Amino acid sequence: MADEILRVEDLHVSVEGTPILKGLSLTIHRGEIHAIMGRNGAGKSTLANVVMGHPAYEITSGNIFFKGEPLEDLEVFQRARAGMFLSFQYPAAIPGVQVGTFLKKSVASVRDDPPKGRAFRKELTAAMDKLSMDKSFLSRYVNDGFSGGEKKRLEILQMLLLQPHLALLDETDSGLDIDALRIVAQGINEVAADSACLIITHYQRLLDLVKPHYVHAMIDGAIIRTGGPELALELEDRGYDWLEVTA
Amino acid sequence: MMYHQMPIPSRSEHLWRYTPWPRIHPSKPDSVPVADEVIFTSNSRQELTEAPHSQKPQGDIARAFLQAAGGSSSQILLHDETEAVHINARASGHVAVGHLHLEVKGSAVVFLHISGEPEWVGLHITGTVHPNAHLAFGFINELDSNTKFLRCEDWGLERDSSLEHATLSVGGFRCKSDLRTSLNGTGSSVRQSVTVNADGTRHDDEHVEIHHHHGHTQSDLVMNSACDGSSHFIGTGLLTIAEGANKSNASQVFRNLLLSQKARAEAIPELEVLADDVSAAHGAASAPVDDNQMHYLMSRGLDPQEAQSVIVNGFLYDAFSNLTNKELLEEMRTRLTVHLECELKR
């Protein structure tokens, strides 16, 4: 069996006293791509945020393990350094901080043997070329005044450079036109080949380009059905009501 | 009116509310100490020359005091300058005062860098930017952390002229600045940015007045402060648009970042608009470091201290973003970087 990267066991999570996740379990191995689909408010983004360690979320019961080790004592930055990456649905803008400076700091913080000087620039240029990103991006301020598509490309650029063991992609496909979606999908496929990948999405169109091994349907804070890629097609076709009836 | 004829301004006045005159005066308000000279030196082919002290009665107490205190008085005439002019103002002794006048008749970039360890420094800068002339002016305050500092500036902009004005205030323990620009000619414009980094018990009061006397004039002010320890920053603005100064366009933004429980910051823009057809906007915000920004940076591997440092540095750099003169922008950012790196090593 492939290496286990993420194991979530009967996870219950609340935000300001309101239960959001209600007994969610999930295991992802290296080389696997999992997709989670569900209605707005089902708890998909909560799952990604709580795995990454967002302080606003309270784990009321259950466990999360990353590469076999419990996560609960690790702060957000320690999770990132351990090899976890979250592509945010709404990445924060950091005015005054240039993208180039930010990427350099981030790579130096996360990677064990970060490339320096010319080696870093070479790697950065190669990654930007893959994503058809112009060099002028580097002197812009992080996500400040970026379009939705530009923000998502920057998220994927970071993922390529940080080389995570686990990539959590929260609606990375939203706000992308079809050409941008294809480019972003290429980036995801490249990272997914040697890591574990959890894609949160509303749409089949990304899953046409990034083939998931497993698709999970989530309703009211729990995964109620797991299937192969065909489940995504069925959800897109039939919606979620039928799952509630059969649950 | 001369200094001794003036009453001490009341704290009810906008200008003197947070830093009353007795708090910025070098000793007792009824005295005028003998001032040493602030020594101005420059790298310019245009020489700094001695200028006669103005005998003109002053309208406010700070300017009248600086006039009464004397000190040095220099002037520089600038035409089209191919290289940036760097003026060093060196202050020493108990009380030091300097007056500097700039006459700008072409395109010039000027940096005024004040440093030294006197107990008290006063500086009065005046400038005229002639028709169709353009000045980019950077002011860097790196005075000793025990120095009390009073700065007054008066700029007059003629028809179709422009001023880009940047302040980096990181020195002195108690600073009061009163910076005034008059847009005296149609088509004139001013872009102004003020960046303040305050720590310990530092007190910095920056007052910026911009007066639109003619139509088709533009102004843009950005003031960012980051306050740590038990420091106190005050940013006040007065923007006036005179009757008939139509098609004027003005904007003022004040942002304060509070980095500790004891740090305080005030941001008070004021507008007086007497013309009908203008665009005038202002905004002010004081807040601690944004949790979402912290979380985002930490999710990229930066520890909490690094993440906060990146956010604060970016916030301070961002105050200069409204500048369009590349030389001014780069130099101000470089000075800020040097300051922040030195601070990190302390």
Cite the beta strand spans of chain A per DSSP E.
4-15, 18-29, 33-38, 58-66, 69-70, 84-87, 94-98, 141-142, 166-170, 196-200, 214-219, 222-227
Which residue numbers of B have CB closer than 8 Å to A's CBs? Answer: 290-293, 295-304, 306-307, 310-311, 313-318, 321
Please give the structure tokens belonging to residue B275: 């013309």
**Torsional sign, CA A110, A114, A119, A123:** negative
Query: Does A139 lie at the interface with B, CB-CB under 8 angstroms?
Result: no
Inter-chain CB proximity B293 and A80 less than 8 Å: no
Q: B299 in a domain, yes or no?
A: no
Q: Which residue in A54, A95, A105 is closest to B318 by CB distance?
A: A95
Q: State how far the alpha carbon of B137 is from the alpha carbons of B49, B141, B160, B247, B333, in Å.
A: 19, 13, 17, 26, 14
User: Which structural domain, as residue segments, surrounds residue B108?
Assistant: 3-288
User: CA-to-CA distance for B331 and A39, rounded, in angstroms?
Assistant: 51
Instruction: Please give the pLDDT value at position B344.
Output: 64
Query: Does A81 lie at the interface with B, CB-CB under 8 angstroms?
Result: yes
B132 backbone φψ class: left, alpha, beta (φ>0; ψ -120 to 50): left
Inter-chain CB proximity A91 and B296 less than 8 Å: yes
Q: B315 in a domain, yes or no?
A: no
Chain B residues whose beta carbon lies within 8 Å of the beta carbon of residue A86: 299
Inter-chain CB proximity B296 and A94 less than 8 Å: yes
Inter-chain CB proximity A76 and B313 less than 8 Å: no
Q: Which residue in B302, B307, B314 is closest to A95 by CB distance?
A: B314
Q: B149 in a domain, yes or no?
A: yes
Average pLDDT, chain A: 93
Instruction: Please give the pLDDT value at position A203.
Output: 87
Instruction: Please give the pLDDT value at position A247.
Output: 58
Residue type present at position B203: H
DSSP bridge pairs for A186: none
Inter-chain CB proximity A106 and B307 less than 8 Å: no
Chain B residues whose beta carbon lies within 8 Å of the beta carbon of residue A109: 300-303, 306
Q: B142 in a domain, yes or no?
A: yes
Cα nearest neighbour of B289 on chain A:
A94
Higher pLDDT, A174 or A52: A52
Please give the structure tokens belonging to residue B309: 């440092």
Inter-chain CB proximity A92 and B315 less than 8 Å: no
The pLDDT tens digits of the residues spanning A203-215 come to: 888 999 999 999 9
Cα nearest neighbour of A161 on chain B:
B300
Distance to chain A for B49, nearest Cα, Å? 39
Q: Which residue in B303, B310, B321 is closest to A77 by CB distance?
A: B303
Mean pLDDT of A116-122: 92
Cα nearest neighbour of B319 on chain A:
A96
Query: Does A105 lie at the interface with B, CB-CB under 8 angstroms?
Result: yes
Percentage of chain A beyond pLDDT 90 is 81
Given pLDDT bands bounded at 50, 70 and 90, which one contains residue A246? low
User: CA-to-CA distance for B280 and B250, rounded, in angstroms?
Assistant: 5
- Enumerate domains of chain A plus CATH numbers: 4-93+164-246 (3.40.50.300)
User: CA-to-CA distance for A186 and A180, rounded, in angstroms?
Assistant: 10
Q: B283 in a domain, yes or no?
A: yes
What pTM did the predictor assign?
0.91
The pLDDT tens digits of the residues spanning A20-78 come to: 999 999 999 999 999 999 998 999 999 999 999 999 999 999 999 999 999 989 999 99
Cα nearest neighbour of B321 on chain A:
A96
User: CA-to-CA distance for B249 and B317, rounded, in angstroms?
Assistant: 24
Instruction: Please give the pLDDT value at position B203.
Output: 97
Percentage of chain A beyond pLDDT 70 is 98
Chain B residues whose beta carbon lies within 8 Å of the beta carbon of residue A52: 299
The percent of chain B in helix, strand and coil, each rounded to the nearest 5, is: 20, 45, 35
- Along the 346 residues of chain B, how does pLDDT read in single tens digits? 789 889 999 998 888 999 999 999 999 999 999 999 999 999 877 789 999 888 887 889 999 999 999 999 999 999 998 899 999 999 999 999 999 999 999 999 999 999 999 999 999 999 999 999 999 999 999 999 999 999 999 999 999 999 999 999 999 999 999 999 999 999 999 999 999 999 999 999 999 999 999 999 999 999 999 999 999 999 999 999 999 999 999 999 999 999 999 999 999 989 999 999 999 999 999 999 999 999 999 999 999 999 999 999 999 999 999 999 999 999 999 999 999 888 766 6
Inter-chain CB proximity B301 and A110 less than 8 Å: yes
Tell me how many domains chain B contains.
1
Instruction: Please give the pLDDT value at position A242.
Output: 85
Please give the structure tokens belonging to residue A183: 């480019």
User: CA-to-CA distance for A201 and A36, rounded, in angstroms?
Assistant: 6
Q: B335 in a domain, yes or no?
A: no
Which among B202, B227, B108 has a CA at the least distance from the CA of B149?
A: B202
Residue type present at position B56: K
Inter-chain CB proximity B300 and A94 less than 8 Å: no
Residue type present at position B6: M
Mean pLDDT of A6-31: 95
Contacts of B243 (CB under 8 A, 6+ apart): B274, B275
Instruction: Please give the pLDDT value at position A207.
Output: 93
**What are the b/e assignments for B291-313, b being 16+ CB within 10 Å?**
ebbbbbbbbbbbbeebbbbbbbb
Given pLDDT bands bounded at 50, 70 and 90, which one contains residue A1? very low
Instruction: Please give the pLDDT value at position B346.
Output: 61
